[in-house]
Structure 1
Amino acid sequence: MVAGARERAAVDPIARVLPLLGLTHLDRPFDYLVDAEQDAAAAPGVRVRVRFAGRLVDGFVLERIATSDHSGKLSWLDRVVSPEQVLPPQLATLCRAVADRYAGTMSDVIRLAVPPRHARTEAEAVSIVPLPDVAPPNLDAWQQYSGFDGYLGAVRSGGAPRAVWQAAPGEDWPARLAELAAATLAAGRGVIIVVPDQRDLDKLEAACEPLVGDRAVSLAAGLGPTARYRRWLAVLRGRADVVLGTRSAGFAPVRDLGLVVVWDDGDDSLDEPRSPYPHPREVAVLRSYGEKAALVIGGFARSAEAQVLVDAGWAHDLLAPRAEIRARAPRVVALSGEDASVAHDPLARSARIPAVAFKAARTALDADTSVLFSVPRRGYIPSVACERCRTHARCRACHGPLQLDSNGELSCRWCGRGERNFNCVACGGSRIRALSTGAGRTAEELGRAFAGVPVTTSGGASIVDAVKPGARVVVATPGAEPVAPQGYGAAIILDTWAYLDREDLRAAETAVRRWLAIAALVRPASSGGSVIIVADAGVPAVQAIIRWDPVGFASAELADRAELGFPPAVTMAAVDGGAHTITAFVDSVTLPTSGTVLGPVPLPSGVRAPAGSSDVGRDSGPLERILLRVDRGHGRELTRALSAAQILRNAHHETGPIRVQVDPPTIG
């Protein structure tokens, strides 16, 4: 059929279509005519193909309207790719809100929210089976948290309460979240629970299965595209109303959403690596607000971002009383790695543990319980520093980091050059010390120290989920700690300064989160459980573990950031790219009156370069970063200004590599 022979649809013959172009200046819907043959299929939310600037592009129908405000001639929809309404109105609204929050494009957010289409999966026969009933769960374990009854009552009545849940020591958090999901289902509403990684997802699935059964599906990247799309369609079609998953599960099209949960929001696994880099916590906040759903942000630790919500009165606390926390927490002892007991104990010195920690480990093993040793890195000895001043040891040829190999020889990790006569550039010292000894070396040392005791290592590609009962030494890197039956008898946290000395805004917060997660695996003090932190007890992060006070630490951390002008006390955007490119871009940003510009500085270590940076020419300059900062009340003005600058840049066809990230996880 030729275009002139087409007949318009009788009702609402115009479709507003968002083309997936990824360009800021074209990030808006365009009007297209719908012919009579497409009328039934071209519903809001379906995938379509449209002609744009002379080429066919993918797009989504956002709405159907009767008339257009476009004065020119409208083009026709080329075709409806599928009648499946994969972008329902509430999801489209969320994608728009996330794009605005992060100064991105709606099409980029849709690519995160809606998985790629698989035609064969869509065409599979669908059995219409009523969802099984869910019995109200036993919520006695939740009664220890003050404010829970009021929160649950609001959920059951269709309200949208918001809370930050501080899990008590040793809490079986997957079971508690499964109970909360079942209670929400029993009230007739859907649930989304987002966790950092597959290990957490496996635990959550196991806890949810007996309570919600087939009403739950898991969404994770490891499923593969076909299986993931099949499960996503099951949610879209209403055949499942509980979604458990990792990052992008926060966008799942759950019908009548009643509860959104984000567990351990400070975990860096939740940092989205794709533009516009939305954090699942912020997606959950926007979705809770937009769809009038309840919200829970939970964890053993607390992020400064979660504390902002409480301080602002937007969310309230779910806390256990101090007496309950003291009863459930292990005994925590902090001591310096330079403790005098090390000098008098050669065996302890070889394993970097003071005599007190060695004694605690031996006591736990004698009681036929496992002992956990936490080390910051896997492998052998990754890098070294001056023994006197702890300045990083660098290669004299290329300035790369020096390392000790298994033979005790110094060499450069970048160029491989050996270093026979080390002298510190800062103090002139000639002796070195390991910044952090890896799990492999630590396991060897502990195997000799505790002869006859089995040693298990967990980390990297070899993660152990659980260990058998009985006396055992476990050496694990952060996040890879196995679960021990009835809890560990002791945990020893080594090389703590490797966390605290990092040049990172979130270094202390990350340390507290990881150490509390380790301590939560240990038996209560009443059962002999103890945690030894080889660190100065006066450090605020260590004090937070000793007192088991993540809320107090988060409040103090937030106050410090407010004084220094760092997120989340302010809204900050990082602009990364070639020096000349980002300078020109920032010059085009009209900041609010409260705005300040910081930098440029070299791109921080550990931050990946913007896409296309390998092609940076001489005219773009070296890779750098500029930070733009405004107070929280002007955050939306900043994101609008960034979007306007992107539009101007696109209009001028400027192509130098650049990345704009609002509230980046790494500041510098």
Structure 2
Amino acid sequence: MPNRSTRVERQPAAELPVARVCVDVPLPHLDRLFDYLVPGDLDETAQPGTRVKVRFAGQLVDGWLIERAAESAVPKLAYLEKLVSAEQVLTPEVAELARAIADRYAGSLADVLRLAVPPRHARAEQAAPPAESDDAPPPAPVDTGWADYQAGEGFLRALAEGKNPRAVWSALPGEDWPARIAEAAAATLAAGKAVVAVVPDARDLDRVDKALTDQLGKDRHVTLAAGLGPAKRYRAFLAASRGQVRVVAGTRAAAFAPVHDIGLVVIWDDGDDLHAEPRAPYPHAREVLLTRAQRAGAAALVAGHARTTEAQLLLETGWAREVVGDRATTRRRTPVITPTGDDPQLARDPGAATARLPSLAWEAARAALKADAPVLVQVPRRGYLPSVSCATCRAPARCTACSGPLALRSSHAVPACRWCGRVAGDHVCPHCGARGLRASVTGARRTAEELGRAFPEIPVRTSGRDEVLTEVPAAAAVVVATPGAEPVAEGGYGAVLLLDTWALLTRADLRAGEEALRRWMTAAALARPGAGGGRVVVVADGSVPVIQALLRWDPGWYAARELGERRELRFPPAARMTSLTGTAAAVADLLAAVELPPDAEVLGPVPADQDQERYLVRAPRGRAADVATALHAAAGMRSARKTPQPVRIQVDATDLF
């Protein structure tokens, strides 16, 4: 009688018995595919794109089966331990894209796949119907808002004909941009191709979701975002991978959505920092989508009210064409934008002084409220008084324990440190000995309080981190919002006031001017046209170039100017910059191991957070791949030696300066 404990000998699959697996181990020196044998009982189900479990370094780890092969160079192979699911969640196109993104950002394939494929939800996988949708695609839209843009209708026609036009679109004020994206998606669907559209946040995604439903009909698209929850997100992911829908809209991770035969990629407001992934290898959604379009031969649309220098570079290299409104249309749709001085004008009107508004802004707000229209006030900081200084010598007020900035959370609060929370009720200025404090930066709540006193009979609402408003009705009200939290007003705002502009313009950041213009144009675009009484007042000197771009509503001019200056200085995006952050010993160890191209420069070190240092590696754009490969190889050498102190490698980091 045979022994029941004897293990049955496993046999490899008859055809293509070798599985090449990406193991989910984020160590750089293990960033390659490992060969395993496919047992005969898993021959039909263990297909490329499925999740598996394998024995690796004595442990059972997750992995993705990338491909099947007939033979291996390794003489003795272990078997796949388990097939987690027969669902092919990783398409060949997305697998190749993930490898390209990992190489571009000096990262590991496993890290990118973790971003691209959401965690499995077994119940959602079993409940989702497997059949493909065989509904006929909707016809291409005929009458669209793209007629207001030069080359706009041509772009839509090219999509409907199955071509791959690439465009940088500067949206006009008051534009229903979700509807324009939905029209582009419908034109692409009419050609039998798929669409992936990426927006910064959930509010924008809700607007695009509604526009796609209105344009395409119900159940013709899905949305992908972390806020949906594990089950709903995975069901939407499966609907795309199984071919049930061909249009996917979402936040940054949706750039990897597994649609079939992709024809168009769209990114809205590519300058928003929410598009930058905070997890290794820190890819930017714009670069993921553009890489995908290039590899798949798909159309691309980089869109926004403002324009980044990266988008301008696409135009100047000829990779994309410009889609903008002509000057007559731009003038017709733009609100009246007026710059104003700062403190000298506050004395002209007692009410204006109470509300911290120059007279011009005060009059614009009062006129809009009198016409029963809402007023938007954009302030760059949330909170009450997020930064205070000495009332006598103006020196920044800092905590005596950790040197962090002091702040006031309300009109009755005691000053407290924003870093460690220590109360500083007995604060004395170390420079002059004074005890009084004044505001350095006024937050949204303090601004709302001041405006409430200035307009006592008008409701004042705030929109920021604690509560973000989506829409406001067409009625007299004051809305105080931080950048990115501006709600849409029914019929547009009667006035938009841009306060404390210096707080954005004087930041120690390479992108300070570009980011300020993006935030101001996003807010100003919510105002009514000038003919409809819409006014925008920006509290700044009108001779500053970024203010000039806002006044003329010409983001292309400013982006070209910025790009020209960065070319002279060899700053991104004219050059590639990679930051290396870690302890001094760790970064020095990495630099000693790396073999950089001869035309790459190492800049630094400079202090970073938490007793760390940062170096910058600058190289021409044409050598960026060589630098990334060299840094990844050096990181692999360090991890193979089990060096305990890591170094964070960030290619094209958005906060370099």
Q: TM-score, normalised by structure 1?
A: 0.93
Select the residue among 544, 557, 575 that pairs with 2:549: 544
- What amino acid does structure 1 have at the position aligned with 2:489? A
- Residue 306 of structure 2 corresponds to which residue in structure 1? 301
1:280 and 1:93, CA in 2 relative to 1: closer, same or farther beyond 3 A? Answer: same
- Following superposition of structure 1 onto structure 2, how do residues 142-161 of structure 1 map, counting pairs within 5 Å? 142-161=146-165
1:234 and 1:397, CA in 2 relative to 1: closer, same or farther beyond 3 A? Answer: closer
Answer with 242-251 or 28-37: which moved more.
28-37
- Following superposition of structure 1 onto structure 2, how do residues 622-641 of structure 1 map, counting pairs within 5 Å? 622-641=611-630
Does 2:171 correspond to 1:176? no
Quick check: 1:3–1:76 contact (8 Å CA) kept in 2?
no
- Residue 93 of structure 1 corresponds to which residue in structure 2? 96
Answer with 388-397 or 447-456: which moved more.
388-397
Deviation of 1:99 after TM superposition, in Å, equals 0.2
- Residue 447 of structure 2 corresponds to which residue in structure 1? 442
- What amino acid does structure 1 have at the position aligned with 2:96? T
Does 2:653 correspond to 1:664? yes
Does 2:632 correspond to 1:643? yes
Quick check: 2:336–2:529 contact (8 Å CA) kept in 1?
yes
Quick check: 1:165–1:296 contact (8 Å CA) kept in 2?
yes
- Residue 598 of structure 1 corresponds to which residue in structure 2? 603
Deviation of 1:174 after TM superposition, in Å, equals 0.5
Quick check: 2:473–2:490 contact (8 Å CA) kept in 1?
yes
- Residue 615 of structure 1 corresponds to which residue in structure 2? none
- Residue 316 of structure 1 corresponds to which residue in structure 2? 321
Q: Supply the distance in 2 between the matched residues of 1:368 and 1:250 (Cα, whole angstroms).
A: 42
Structure 1 SS opposite 2:441: coil
Cα-to-partner distance string for 1:312-353 (whole Å, 9 max, x where unaligned):
111111111111111110111111212x22124332123221
Q: Supply the distance in 2 between the matched residues of 1:108 and 1:480 (Cα, whole angstroms).
A: 31
- What amino acid does structure 2 have at the position aligned with 1:224? G
- What amino acid does structure 1 have at the position aligned with 2:540? A
Deviation of 1:127 after TM superposition, in Å, equals 6.3
Deviation of 1:151 after TM superposition, in Å, equals 2.6
- Residue 614 of structure 1 corresponds to which residue in structure 2? none
- Following superposition of structure 1 onto structure 2, how do residues 502-581 of structure 1 map, counting pairs within 5 Å? 502-581=507-586
Structure 1 SS opposite 2:328: helix
- What amino acid does structure 1 have at the position aligned with 2:77? L
Deviation of 1:388 after TM superposition, in Å, equals 9.1
Q: Supply the distance in 1 between the matched residues of 2:188 and 2:88 (Cα, whole angstroms).
A: 26
Select the residue among 58, 80, 84 that pairs with 1:81: 84
Answer with 35-44 or 234-243: which moved more.
35-44
1:344 and 1:423, CA in 2 relative to 1: closer, same or farther beyond 3 A? Answer: farther
1:156 and 1:288, CA in 2 relative to 1: closer, same or farther beyond 3 A? Answer: same
Q: Supply the distance in 2 between the matched residues of 1:589 and 1:539 (Cα, whole angstroms).
A: 43
Structure 2 SS opposite 1:215: coil
Does 2:643 correspond to 1:654? yes
Q: What fraction of aligned residue pairs are identical, expressed as a percent? A: 51
Quick check: 1:590–1:641 contact (8 Å CA) kept in 2?
yes
- Residue 119 of structure 2 corresponds to which residue in structure 1? 116
Quick check: 1:333–1:531 contact (8 Å CA) kept in 2?
yes
Deviation of 1:409 after TM superposition, in Å, equals 6.4
Select the residue among 398, 401, 423 that pairs with 1:416: 423
Quick check: 2:128–2:238 contact (8 Å CA) kept in 1?
no
Does 2:110 correspond to 1:103? no
Structure 1 SS opposite 2:125: helix
- What amino acid does structure 2 have at the position aligned with 1:636? A
Deviation of 1:87 after TM superposition, in Å, equals 1.0
Deviation of 1:398 after TM superposition, in Å, equals 4.0
Q: Supply the distance in 2 between the matched residues of 1:401 and 1:411 (Cα, whole angstroms).
A: 8
- Residue 266 of structure 1 corresponds to which residue in structure 2? 271
Does 2:22 correspond to 1:18? yes
Quick check: 1:424–1:430 contact (8 Å CA) kept in 2?
no
Gaps of 5+ in 1: 610-621
Select the residue among 41, 45, 49 that pairs with 2:49: 45
Quick check: 1:411–1:419 contact (8 Å CA) kept in 2?
no
Deviation of 1:130 after TM superposition, in Å, equals 2.6
Does 2:58 correspond to 1:54? yes
Select the residue among 127, 132, 135 that pairs with 1:131: 135
Quick check: 2:361–2:537 contact (8 Å CA) kept in 1?
yes
Quick check: 1:412–1:418 contact (8 Å CA) kept in 2?
no
1:259 and 1:581, CA in 2 relative to 1: closer, same or farther beyond 3 A? Answer: same
Deviation of 1:431 after TM superposition, in Å, equals 7.8
1:316 and 1:48, CA in 2 relative to 1: closer, same or farther beyond 3 A? Answer: same
- What amino acid does structure 1 have at the position aligned with 2:242? R
Deviation of 1:4 after TM superposition, in Å, equals 7.9
Quick check: 1:347–1:449 contact (8 Å CA) kept in 2?
yes
- What amino acid does structure 2 have at the position aligned with 1:146? Q
Structure 1 SS opposite 2:159: helix
1:430 and 1:163, CA in 2 relative to 1: closer, same or farther beyond 3 A? Answer: farther
Quick check: 1:458–1:481 contact (8 Å CA) kept in 2?
yes
Does 2:6 correspond to 1:29? no
Q: Supply the distance in 2 between the matched residues of 1:516 and 1:495 (Cα, whole angstroms).
A: 15
Q: Supply the distance in 2 between the matched residues of 1:529 and 1:104 (Cα, whole angstroms).
A: 48
- Residue 245 of structure 1 corresponds to which residue in structure 2? 250
Cα-to-partner distance string for 1:227-269 (whole Å, 9 max, x where unaligned):
1111111111111111010010010000111111000011111
Structure 2 SS opposite 1:265: coil
1:174 and 1:8, CA in 2 relative to 1: closer, same or farther beyond 3 A? Answer: same
- What amino acid does structure 2 have at the position aligned with 1:418? G
Deviation of 1:430 after TM superposition, in Å, equals 9.1
Cα-to-partner distance string for 1:559-590 (whole Å, 9 max, x where unaligned):
22222222111111111111211121122222
- Following superposition of structure 1 onto structure 2, how do residues 110-509 of structure 1 map, counting pairs within 5 Å? 110-124=113-127, 126=129, 128=131, 129-213=133-217, 214-338=219-343, 340-385=344-389, 392-395=396-399, 398-404=402-408, 406-407=411-412, 412-413=417-418, 414=420, 415-418=422-425, 421-422=428-429, 433-509=438-514
1:658 and 1:21, CA in 2 relative to 1: closer, same or farther beyond 3 A? Answer: same
1:436 and 1:2, CA in 2 relative to 1: closer, same or farther beyond 3 A? Answer: farther
Q: Supply the distance in 1 between the matched residues of 2:266 and 2:431 (Cα, whole angstroms).
A: 49
Paired residues, number: 648
Deviation of 1:667 after TM superposition, in Å, equals 0.7
Cα-to-partner distance string for 1:11-49 (whole Å, 9 max, x where unaligned):
112111111111211111122222221111111111111
Q: Supply the distance in 2 between the matched residues of 1:386 and 1:524 (Cα, whole angstroms).
A: 43
1:201 and 1:450, CA in 2 relative to 1: closer, same or farther beyond 3 A? Answer: same
Deviation of 1:663 after TM superposition, in Å, equals 0.7
Q: Supply the distance in 1 between the matched residues of 2:483 and 2:529 (Cα, whole angstroms).
A: 21
1:411 and 1:651, CA in 2 relative to 1: closer, same or farther beyond 3 A? Answer: closer
- Residue 618 of structure 1 corresponds to which residue in structure 2? none
Quick check: 2:144–2:183 contact (8 Å CA) kept in 1?
no
Quick check: 2:332–2:531 contact (8 Å CA) kept in 1?
yes
- Cα RMSD (Å): 2.1
Q: Supply the distance in 1 between the matched residues of 2:646 and 2:184 (Cα, whole angstroms).
A: 45
Quick check: 1:190–1:241 contact (8 Å CA) kept in 2?
yes
Quick check: 1:131–1:239 contact (8 Å CA) kept in 2?
no
Quick check: 1:139–1:179 contact (8 Å CA) kept in 2?
no
- What amino acid does structure 2 have at the position aligned with 1:155? L
Q: Supply the distance in 1 between the matched residues of 2:592 and 2:566 (Cα, whole angstroms).
A: 26
Quick check: 2:619–2:627 contact (8 Å CA) kept in 1?
yes
Cα-to-partner distance string for 1:582-634 (whole Å, 9 max, x where unaligned):
12112222221221111111116xxxx7xxxxxxxxxxxx2121111111111
Cα-to-partner distance string for 1:472-523 (whole Å, 9 max, x where unaligned):
1111111111111111111111111111111122211111111001100001
Answer with 86-95 or 61-70: which moved more.
61-70
Gaps of 5+ in 2: none
Q: Supply the distance in 1 between the matched residues of 2:143 and 2:114 (Cα, whole angstroms).
A: 38
